[in-house]
Amino acid sequence: MRLKTLASLPLLALLTSCYYLQSTSIPIKTIHYTQHAEQQNKSARQLMVLLPGIGDKAKVFDKHGVIDFIHSAHPDMDVIAVDAHFKYYEARTIIDRLRQDIIKPAQDAGYSKIYLGGTSLGGLGSLLYIKQYPDDIEKIFILAPYLGDQQDYGYLLENTAAPKAPRDVNLWPWLTQLPDETKNKIYLAYGTNDKFAVPNGLLANLLPQGHTVTQTGKHNWKTWAQLWPSLLEKQ
């Protein structure tokens, strides 16, 4: 996914000089929040893997209370927050790193169910993952996901034919043909004043009833921190 393919994001405003210092390290960096570190048998435990938005780091979920929300709602759930920054998407290695460095080891460790959660760019990453490996993931919880430029989904608003040659990062041909089994895995939340509210609303229309949570708010953590508890109730 090259930088220009995410042109609708205000990248120059969002990416600070720190972006240029980031590297696509192997394995990808993570922070683990384990409920019971002494428990060796994970066969009865579940795992939530969290992907941050552009410009955020893995620790952002703890900062805004998401880790506490998860542990409070689901005492048997461990959490891994991933430092999945934009360069992994740009290099098109984000899915490989998630699978090789996190998902497969978790499966081998015996976690019974694995979930993905993500904000903004992390929501896109969650969708990209279940598109490629739907059987790995029980459910995904995505907040205000980036879903492409208007050129990707505009035909749905205008009720016209889809582009004959969609861009390779365009998820809409897949989203509009989702099998029920995959639809049932997707849970969505966003603020009604979010800059991505239009495409998020299109996705909401494709999901089963009860899989979407909305409230007044913009594309920021003030809104997302309020949406996370309601979204986690869907688990």
Closest by alpha carbon to 116, among 87, 81, 86, 68? 81
Q: What is the average per-residue pLDDT within 51-63?
A: 96
Q: How many domains does the chain have?
A: 1
**Residue 23: what pLDDT?**
79
Amino acid at 89: Y
- Quick check: 11 pLDDT over 60? no
- Quick check: 7 pLDDT over 80? no
Query: Does any domain span residue 112?
Result: yes
Query: Does any domain span residue 13?
Result: no
Chain segment 88-111, per-residue pLDDT in tens = 999 999 999 999 999 999 999 999
Query: Does any domain span residue 209?
Result: yes
Chain segment 217-231, per-residue pLDDT in tens = 999 999 999 999 999
Query: Does any domain span residue 107?
Result: yes
- CA–CA separation, 233 vs 62, rounded Å? 18
- Quick check: 127 pLDDT over 90? yes
Buried b / exposed e over 5-34, threshold 16 CB at 10 Å, is bbebbeeeeebeeeeeeeeeeeebebbebe
Query: Does any domain span residue 147?
Result: yes
Query: Does any domain span residue 44?
Result: yes
**Residue 136: what pLDDT?**
97
- Quick check: 216 pLDDT over 70? yes
Query: Does any domain span residue 15?
Result: no
- CA–CA separation, 87 vs 73, rounded Å? 32
The residue range of the domain holding 209 is 28-152+167-232
Query: Does any domain span residue 161?
Result: no
Residue that wins the pLDDT comparison between 120 and 34: 120
Poorest-confidence range of 93-107, 120-134, 146-160?
146-160
Chain segment 62-88, per-residue pLDDT in tens = 999 999 999 998 888 999 999 999 999
Poorest-confidence range of 15-24, 33-42, 120-129?
15-24
pLDDT band at 160 (very low <50, low <70, confident <90, very high): confident
CATH number at residue 222: 3.40.50.1820
Rounded to two decimals, what is the model's pTM?
Answer: 0.88
**Residue 235: what pLDDT?**
66
